[in-house]
Structure 1
Amino acid sequence: MKTDVWFVMLPGVLALDLTGPAEAFALAAEHFTLHYIGPEPEVATSLGLTIGGIVPLPESLPPGSLLVLPGVTDSTRLFDTPQAEAIRRWLTRLQPAVQRGDISLVCICSGALLAARAGLMHGVQCTTHHDVLARLKAAAPGAIVKDNRIFVEDNGIWTSAGITSGIDLALHLIHRLCGPRVALEVAREMVVWFRRSGDDPQLSPWLRYRNHIHPAIHRVQDLLAANPQAAWSLEGIAACAHVSSRHLTRLFQQHLGISVRDYLEQLRLALAEQCLLQGQGVEQAATTAGFSSPRQLYRARQRVS
């Protein structure tokens, strides 16, 4: 029996919040039936493209449905429209079905704000895009908002950081509902080789320490990110950046607040975690990521826990 997936469509819907998860579910079409619903028959997306064929909001949804709320390009404005208000009232009517677990609610990016306005987030562990976290906390003071998470699940309510993390969440749901083989086939078809888990940070080591403008550090980061498993020495890294080892050490501490060694270790740890998610054993994952042994990988995990 197929699972019905209902995408709620608002003007200004973020295209990737919609199409990323939708493509993932569509690639598992033998398991899912997709529907696009909303108060208007067509909407303009964040890219200016118009999507039609949208059917009216149904009075109720079949048990076992996934209800997906994508984000919008400007949630400060587009969640205060008559269309958003119509959806808010509709969500409020569905609240008992969500609380009973008859319907699973899936919020992508700022879609969690709309769910919060409908009263669906009280007492719920949830997350959203890092730029929207403060507004989610204000919209749902009773919610348990988790910072820096890819996605969170609490009693059938799923929330994600949005954009590409919507794909991560869709793959996770496919894995849960259809099994690992189907999820892996979809990931391969989408060329999404490394599925992130809900516990992964929104700002991975590849992005977290990039908020600076120093060219030498960027050169080093590009070098290490491209091949973290290589047998790097501090001297070799510094030579590639055309600075001395001592100067590079000072630059990393000054601009990033972290040592070169610790930065490289975080890249390797993130790569090892990705390998483990793919099903590799601990020894193979450690070797692939550049650790000398599973023990070294374990110690690296301990240092960041």
Structure 2
Amino acid sequence: MAVPPLRVAFLAYDGVTLLDIAGPAEVFKEANRFGADYRIVLLSPTGQDVTSNLGFSVSVDGAVSAEPAPDTYLVPGSDLFPRTPVPPDLAEAARVPAAEARRVASICTGAFILAAAGLLAGKRATTHWKATRELASRCPTCRVEPDAIYVRDGDTYTSAGITAGIDLALALVEEDHGPDLTRDVARALVVYMQRSGGQSQFSAPLQGPPPRSPALRTVTDLVTANPQASHSLGELAKHLNLSTRHLTRLFHEELSTTPARYVENIRFDMARALLDQGHTATQAAARAGFPSYESMRRVFARKLSISPAAYQRRFSTARRVNSE
């Protein structure tokens, strides 16, 4: 008896990020070349064609309600979320098929649609690093993991920004067909089968509103302006004529961190910027205020799961350098 193809359905809607569909769909299509049997369909809430975030018209195969239950249901993201609430009809278009699918997954800010549909309640989840706080705010029962490339909780999967949908699709293919076929797919697409490090390696340097307390703002400005200085807890407190306990409490209440960790984060961000500009790792460590290269390497390993050299190779330039 022939085994029916595995139906992979994407939810399409006006404003959907086209790459959130195209990237994962390419993985499943490529897997078919190596022996998998996926049938990829594109569905919209009403069955009408939609307009993507790029302004392109996207033809769909039908309405969500008119199609049989998919094996895998994927919900792409949109620039609209998290800036605006998810419309009830879009949340419903995610909820109904998900109840019958073997597994449901979101790409990037598609997690907001799953959350609006009640599909992330009490579950671990992730989304684009810029939107993790907002997702946690909208879904207070979720355990949002801001550094994950993708997260599986039972039969529910969520992934980080845009290209992380490719990582997730590869993981789904491996779940269905094992590592050998998936390795062939990854090689054909010229992507990592499993990306090292979390999505924080792609995030921007520390940004946020200044502290409310004038004293704390003075300290943070001091550290930012001169990260190479010692900046021990005692010296920072002495600079403001505050007790170390009081200064520590201010950092905890307003920035949810400690003075030492704040200093480390500033140095880490400066080191990343210096590496991006082409400075050597040793130069970046010294100019950012790390006591040694080794101390900077440990921070990179803890935060990004990669070394400063590996970070620089990935992000300092998009050009391929060929030697004669």
TM bracket (short chain) = 0.5 to 0.7
Is residue 2:288 matched to residue 1:252?
yes
> Equivalences for 1:155-194 in 2 at 5 Å?
155-193=154-192
- Contact in 2 for aligned 1:6/1:68 (Cα 8 Å): yes
Output the amino acid matched with 2:140: P
Q: CA deviation at 1:95?
A: 5.6
Equivalent residue for 2:201, pick from 197, 200, 204: 204
Q: SS of the residue aligned with 2:31?
A: coil
Q: Which sits farther off after the overlay, 137-146 or 212-221?
A: 212-221
In structure 2, the CA distance between the partners of 1:56 and 1:259, relative to structure 1 (3 Å rule), is farther
Q: Distance in 2 between matches of 1:59 and 1:214?
A: 50
Is residue 2:56 matched to residue 1:62?
no
Aligned to 1:111: 110
Describe the superposition over 1:263-289 as per-residue Cα deviations: whole angstroms up to 9, x where unpaired: 456479637xx9xxxxxxxxxxxxxxx
Describe the superposition over 1:85-133 as per-residue Cα deviations: whole angstroms up to 9, x where unpaired: 3231233334643xxxx52011111111111111111111111111111
- How many aligned positions are there? 237
- The Cα RMSD (Å) is 3.2
Question: In terms of Rg, which structure is larger?
Answer: 2
Output the amino acid matched with 1:48: G
Output the amino acid matched with 1:131: K
Is residue 2:41 matched to residue 1:8?
no
In structure 2, the CA distance between the partners of 1:263 and 1:174, relative to structure 1 (3 Å rule), is farther
Equivalent residue for 1:72, pick from 66, 78, 83: 78
- Contact in 2 for aligned 1:79/1:114 (Cα 8 Å): no
Q: Distance in 1 between matches of 2:193 and 2:23?
A: 15
Q: SS of the residue aligned with 1:128?
A: coil
Unmatched segments (≥5 aa) in structure 1: 225-233, 239-247, 275-305
Q: Which sits farther off after the overlay, 158-167 or 202-211?
A: 202-211
Q: Distance in 1 between matches of 2:189 and 2:269?
A: 29
Aligned to 2:58: 51
Q: Distance in 1 between matches of 2:203 and 2:141?
A: 33
Q: CA deviation at 1:218?
A: 3.6
Q: Distance in 2 between matches of 1:264 and 1:35?
A: 46
Q: Distance in 2 between matches of 1:258 and 1:54?
A: 59
> Equivalences for 1:130-149 in 2 at 5 Å?
130-149=129-148
Q: Distance in 1 between matches of 2:125 and 2:58?
A: 29
Give the TM-score of the pair, scaled to structure 1: 0.67
Aligned to 2:126: 127
Give the TM-score of the pair, scaled to structure 2: 0.64
Q: Distance in 1 between matches of 2:97 and 2:64?
A: 11
- Contact in 2 for aligned 1:72/1:78 (Cα 8 Å): no
